[in-house]
Structure 1
Amino acid sequence: MTEALREGHHGTGPGAITPDGCAVDLYLRLPARNEPDVIERALPAGATLLELGAGAGRVTGPLAARGFAVTAVDESRAMLDRVEARVPGVRTVHSPIESLDLGERFDAVMLASFLVHAPEPAKRQALLRACRRHVADGGHVLLQREGEGWHTGLPREAPLGDGVSRVLSSQEVSPGVRSVHVEYVFPDARWTQTFLSRPLTAAEFTEALADAGLAVDTYLTEDGTWVRALPV
């Protein structure tokens, strides 16, 4: 099953494909890597955490196991089905992030998976306003952004368990917007994803946060990909 694809996004391979071209069965194989460690160090123990774009629960499970009270949000019902199977009892919400309004605030809100690089500035700002709308006064917003040079030096390859991921190309398709093509190859399966990304300089990123009522507090990783912001 393939959900209605967003313009400029495409995915191939076994299983369901989400609107942004992500393959659900692929996301079940992706490791959490260092994300739970980065997040745990950035937040108070036992914090309530709104995870925007939870996918198949790659990070949801480890965070719940570390004592965070996670509410997992995703626009894909197929992804949330996997979250609920992997993390029994976790609270899930099936909704687009941009229009989400739960009427409550959380100690922390997380927007990972480079979602802040949405190709349309209006959508990016709607995502950031959803973060601001749900974070408590004195709380934290954690964001994952592309590292410097992410769109250059391609193709680029990285090991992925018993498989490999390859960023094959990144081509400008309109002013400021790039089409990125990635493949994931395992001994028993192959997936591809094509998606759109709007790279942001550090200054542009800071300005986008400010327009949504947020301010950079600190960069959490040396490569600048994880950022903690505060409501202002």
Structure 2
Amino acid sequence: MSEPGTGPGPITPDGSPVDFYTLLGPGADPEIVAQVTPPGGSVLELGAGVGRVTHPLVDRGFQVVAVDESPEMLAHIRGARTVHARVQELRLGERFDTVVLASQLVNTAHDQTRRELVAACARHVRPGGTVLIQWMPAEAHDRWHVGMGRQDGDLTITMAAVEEVSPGLFEATMRYTHGEDRVWTQSFTSRRLTDGELAAELATEGLRLDRFLTEDRTWLAATPS
């Protein structure tokens, strides 16, 4: 795979183009978090980025701690406490009503990193709380193809390349365009996980896969067992 990210403005080590994410809308994600969090409750957002979801949650009255390894991303966040750290190394000594692990981070190609990410969620959720995980289900991987994409306002998001480089491991590149002259690419690897494999990963850290929250099954709730 070529360099993980290209385009104008800062690019994080994992290839995320910061300027692109400042343009991307929140979609339904804040509502998904809100539906499992008590009013005014505490939210730990792991991999918060530029605050695409953080800011709507703050506006709704939630107490948000936003964590990201990119200072360029965190510089855009307002109204929330920010923590500059790698998610898998996070140890705040605090527990939250809801812990959010978004952006399909759990589909990392590295098994050890996945275990560390799940462990970070488990050690920060309070008893009776919820861990929200955004993932790419197995069947979604099976539908990936070059040219698929969507519009988000003035943004065009297209899968420019995808290849299953070994059984269950995909390499892909996304192309993002805004207007006629702003173009970014972001390359990544994604592990195809079954429901059972993900549930087993969660159980290792004392979490139980409780339910899927969206029709496409990309958001799930897990609870301390």
| Structure-1 residue corresponding to 2:171 | 179
Q: Which residue, out of 185, 196, 204, partners 1:203?
A: 196
Query: 1:150 deviation in Å?
Result: 3.5
**Matching residue's letter, 1:231:** P
Q: How big is each residue's C-alpha offset from its partner over 1:23-50, in whole Å with a ceiling of 9 and x where there is no partner?
A: 0000000100111111111221111010
What does residue 205 of structure 2 align with?
A: 212
Give the equivalent residue in structure 1 for 2:74: 80
Post-superposition offset of 1:165: 0.2
The CA deviation at 1:170 is 2.1
Would the aligned equivalents of 1:9 and 1:195 in 2 still touch at CA under 8 Å? no
TM-score (norm 2): 0.94
Match for residue 17 of structure 1?
A: 11
How far off its partner does 1:230 sit? 0.3
Cα distance in 1 between the residues matched to 2:142 and 2:3: 17
SS of 1:17 mapped into structure 2: coil
Using the TM superposition, name which of 95-104 and 35-44 deviates more.
35-44
Structure 2 residues without counterparts, runs of 5 or longer: none
1:8–1:196 CA contact under 8 A, matched in 2? no
Q: Deviations over 1:194-225 (max 9, x none)?
A: 01111111111111111121111111111111
> Equivalent residues in 2 for 1:4-153 (5 A)?
10-83=4-77, 87=78, 89-147=79-137, 148-153=139-144
Identity of aligned residues (%): 46
Aligned-pair CA distance for 1:129: 0.1
How many angstroms does 1:9 deviate by?
A: 5.9
Unpaired runs of at least 5, structure 1: 1-6
Q: Distance in 2 between matches of 1:53 and 1:67?
A: 20
SS at structure 1 position matched to 2:57: helix
Distance 2:128 2:148 in 1: 39
| C-alpha distance in 1 between matches for 2:3 and 2:127 | 36
Report the Cα distance in structure 1 between the residues aligned to 2:175 and 2:92, rounded to whole angstroms: 35
Is 1:228 aligned with 2:221? Answer: yes
The one-letter amino acid paired with 1:108 is: T
Shift of 1:153: 4.4
Q: 1:193 aligns with which of 167, 183, 186?
A: 186
Does structure 2 retain, via aligned residues, the 8 Å contact 1:8–1:179? no
Correspondence for 1:3 = none
Contact kept in structure 2, 1:151 and 1:170, CA below 8 Å:
no
Give the counterpart letter for 2:149 in structure 1: E
Q: Paired residue for 1:4?
A: none
**Contact 2:24 2:155 (C-alpha < 8 Å) held by counterparts:** no
Q: CA RMSD in A?
A: 1.5
TM-score (norm. length: structure 1)? 0.91
Q: CA deviation at 1:181?
A: 0.7
| 3-state SS in 2 of match to 1:98 | helix
Relative distance call for 1:9 and 1:218 in structure 2 (3 A) is farther
Contact 2:115 2:201 in 1 (8 A): yes
